[in-house]
Chains A and B, each alone.
Chain A
Amino acid sequence: MAARHPAAGASTRSADSAAGIRMVGAGWKRIGFVAAAFWFLISIFPLYFVAVTAFKPPLAVSQGPTYIPFIDFQPTLQAFRDAVSGLRGDFIGPVVSSVLVSLTATALSVFLGTMAAYALVRFEFRVKLLAGIVFAVISIGGFTVLSEVYDWRVPHALATVMVAALAASILANRLPLPGPVMGNQDITFWFVSQRIFPPIIAAFALFLLYAEMGKAGFKMLDSYFGLVLAYTAFGLPFSVWLMRDFLETVPVEVEEAALVDDIGRFRIFFQIVLPMAKPGLVATSMIVLAFIWNEFLFALLLTSGKWQTLPILIAGQNSSRGDEWWAISVAALIAIVPMVIVAGILGRLMRSGLLAGSVK
């Protein structure tokens, strides 16, 4: 550690090089410390405020801000009791649906993403650009024709077009077509590029599609299945991208030995690869879980009652509660606490240097 007293110039430098590890003068170090401490206060204050507000009696809110429990105000658990008893609207429902939906969707998306990432790391894919174009032309053109000219229902038209376009492009990929060939990098980019789209397009289009499917007899809007499906796709870009990086660090030799012993790919994947990639799986799950748990737009568009998630409930607090800050804070805390745990787990993983590898 560098010298504590405000010494400058030569003495600082010698003290510093005596320490030998860090290479910055005490002046800089002091500035860094002040900046970090300042940001620490800025980061923590809003969280502290919401945490204490949840325990405030109404008077401690309406008579101007109060900060310190037992000195400024007498803390009470009334707001929590109200929330659990469901006295002021359903709290438990959104919490339950948030937990169910985000856990299922996270598990699915990390699992499917890991499978895809494994394929991307271990095998070589070659997709001809022209086959991709065939796919786009058939699907867009076919859908326009079917729905506009032949007046097919949207879900039927889309499903038909999808099967046809997929079959045609797989076939096209086998033909000796000219033009560039896309490899594993491009496929990874294809997954990640889903994040570049403004989500309102996907969310809104999905809403239209789900509504049409509802008319055709499949209830997708405000249903568990519809929401889980949407969130699985929402999480996939992260899972594929992160798991690809983690799986690249898993040594291939063990797998090769297993292959020689004629053990199937699936057993290798489940019994060798997944256990070895465990830290990566934990980190990826935490990140995907955080994104899904906090997601607002899809839930806003795709749910209307039964399956409303926590963020929707919280967004509604503002208009329904007005200045009942104690109730608002309880709702916010319920959403925040699991994420504090997630951040803690990730912080530990980060200290162990795991995430440093994912930046290249």
Chain B
Amino acid sequence: MQQADGQGGLIKHVFMAPAFLVVLIVTLFPLIYALVVSFQSMRLVPPLPPRFVGVDNYVDILSSARFWGSMYTTSTIVFISVAFQYVLGFALAIALHHNVPGARLYRVTFLLPMFLAPVCVALIARMIFHPYLGPVNDALGGMGFGYVPFLTEPNLAIATLIVIEVWQWTPFVTLLMLAGLQSLPEEVFEAAKVDDIPAWRRFRDITVPMLLPLSVAVIFIRLIEGFKVIDTVFVLTGGGPGTATETLTLFAYNEGFKKFNLGYTSALSFTFLILVIVVGTLYLAAAQRVIRRYA
């Protein structure tokens, strides 16, 4: 219910201003500062006074193999894990929606992983995937396989990170898709049932198209959030072996806090922002086309 502008007058700004100012001060103004710094050469150790260097920092980044490596790592983890999260999460939402035995118990348990601190999850994963003392290798050993060095072999370390991401964030997809399923009109399904349309086709021709916009949003959120990952990697592998599992955020952190190369780090985070915007825009454009065709 909206009221005419005049009635709100000053009071509406009183309600809005605190939140607006906090976001402005804490998020936007540092951003302006960082944007300016990203065009400077600025170091804390050894201390160099800021000097304007134009786009040098950005050129350095784009020609750095380590940047492209971290980009490759991040994209691999994000795209593969989001694909699994979506498929598994949707499937589980359907199971819960149809009240499989024990659904009440599952609802809370399924939510749990996404409420845990990623640092905790990574710490637990370190134990579980430990080469000698961990349960996974214990089980593999019991089945007659040898010990697998999950965290020290580059590809396995990335695979482990993907497993952790899937474990932790599938609940998010389940939660939202379940809410979506519950908001679908029951009548359509009743009608389809009367017409003897089999379950698989009801799913493909009714459920999926109707949930397409929600799916697009859910995947979008997971992609954006996935690109930010640092804590899990920080604890699980620290980016290693070498820089094999270094994600973009971790790379930026290492540059800023191990080398204290502030101009470079600022430029790196803006490159990262541009990247996220490009990926996001491309994804949304592609999703729009899919929605238009099927829904």
- What residues make up the interface of A, taking CB atoms closer than 8 Å to B? 17, 22-25, 28-29, 32-33, 35-37, 39-40, 42-47, 49-50, 53, 61-62, 64-65, 67, 112-113, 115-116, 118-126, 139-140, 143-144, 147-148, 154, 158, 161-162, 166, 187, 191, 194-202, 204-209, 229-230, 232-234, 236-237, 240, 252, 265, 269, 290, 293-294, 296-297, 300-301, 310-311, 314-315, 317-318, 323, 325, 328-329, 331-332, 335-336, 339-340, 342-344, 346-347, 350-351, 353, 355-356, 358-359
Chain B residues in 8 Å Cβ range of A37: 102
Of residues 220 through 246 on chain B, the ones whose CB sits less than 8 Å from some CB of chain A are: 224, 227-228, 230-231, 234-235
Are B30 and A205 in contact (CB-based, < 8 A)? yes
**Interfacial chain B residues near A29, Cβ < 8 Å:** 98, 100
Q: Which stretch (B58-66, B77-85, B107-115, B285-293) binds chain A?
A: B107-115
Measured between beta carbons, the chain B residues less than 8 angstroms from A229 are: 22, 25-26
Asked if B35 contacts A140 (CB within 8 A), the reply is yes
B99 touches A22 (CB 8 A): yes
A335 to B117: give the CA distance in the assembly, Å.
Answer: 7
Return the contact of B19 from the options A115, A144, A230 (Cβ within 8 A).
A115
Residues of B within 8 Å of A269, CB to CB, are 15
B95 touches A36 (CB 8 A): yes
Residues of B within 8 A of A40 (CB): 102, 105-106, 109-110
The reply on B138 being an interface residue by CB < 8 A is: yes
Distance A223 CA – B183 CA, assembled complex (angstroms): 45
A123/B167 in contact, CB under 8 A: no
Interfacial chain A residues near B231, Cβ < 8 Å? 296-297, 311, 315
Closest 6 CB pairs of A and B: A205-B30, A233-B26, A205-B34, A119-B15, A32-B95, A294-B117
Contacts of B25 in A (CB 8 A): 162, 229, 233
Given contacts A325-B133, A336-B117, A356-B183, could you give 18 more A-B pairs where the C-beta distance is less than 8 Å?
Answer: A32-B95, A39-B170, A40-B102, A43-B110, A119-B15, A139-B32, A162-B24, A196-B277, A196-B280, A197-B27, A201-B31, A233-B26, A234-B26, A236-B19, A240-B19, A315-B234, A331-B123, A350-B175
- Asked, given contacts A43-B109, A191-B19, whether A24 binds B98 with beta carbons under 8 Å apart, the answer is yes
B123–A332 contact, CB under 8 A?
Answer: yes
Q: List 9 contacting pairs A-B, 8 Å CB cutoff, sorted by A.
A: A35-B95, A198-B273, A205-B269, A208-B266, A209-B33, A265-B15, A311-B119, A335-B119, A359-B180
Query: Which residues of chain B are near A65, meaning CB under 8 Å?
Result: 133-135, 138
